[in-house]
A = this chain, B = another copy of it.
C-alpha cells in the first residue's frame, strides 16, 4: 500500500518510513503542484488536518498521511505547543532549543510532553486520526545526535538518555509520533 506523506521535513519522512514498515511512503515533494499550507489551526489536530487536506487536493488517488506535533511545557503555559517549529525568530532547531532552555533557566518544574496528531485522508474522503503523547522532562543541556527538533533536550520518562541519544527503534517505540502512527497502522490493518 502506497501512502503519500504530507511533510517536507526529511527527519519526519525517515521516521514515517521506519514506522510504516510494509507500506511505501512517498514524499509529497514528488508532487510538483503541492504548496505547503499555512498552519493556521489552533490545535495539533486542526493543523494536521490542514496539512492532510492540502496534500489530498493534489494527490487524489492515494491515501495521504500528515502529522502535527510539538512540545508542551506546562511551566510555560503550554508553550511552545503548536508553535514548536516556529518558536524562535530564526525557526531553526538550534535556535528553538536555545530559546526553550533560556526560558526554562531557573525554572524548577521541568516536566514536559511531546504530543502528536497523525491523520490519514483516503481518496473517498474518509478520515482517521490518532493522538500520541510522550511524557518526560527538559534537561538544561543538549545531548545526542539522533533525532531532530527538541529531541536533544528531552528525556522521556523511564530513561536517562535524551530522545536524540536513543536508537531510532527505541525512540519510535515510545515517541508521540511513533505512538500515533502505530495506532493509525493498527486501524488501517483492521479495516483491510
Contact = CB atoms under 8 A, between A and B. Distances in A.
Contacts of A119: 127
A130 interface: yes
Interface in A115-131: 119, 124-131
Q: Chain A contact residues (Cβ within 8 angstroms of B): what range? A: 20 to 34
Query: Binding site of A, secondary structure by majority: helix, strand, loop or mixed?
Result: mixed
Interface of A: 40-41, 43, 45-46, 49-50, 53, 119, 124-131, 183, 190-191
27 contacts: A40-B40, A41-B41, A41-B46, A43-B53, A45-B49, A45-B53, A45-B127, A46-B46, A46-B49, A46-B53, A49-B49, A119-B127, A125-B130, A125-B131, A126-B128, A126-B129, A126-B130, A126-B131, A127-B127, A127-B128, A127-B129, A127-B130, A128-B128, A128-B129, A129-B129, A190-B191, A191-B191
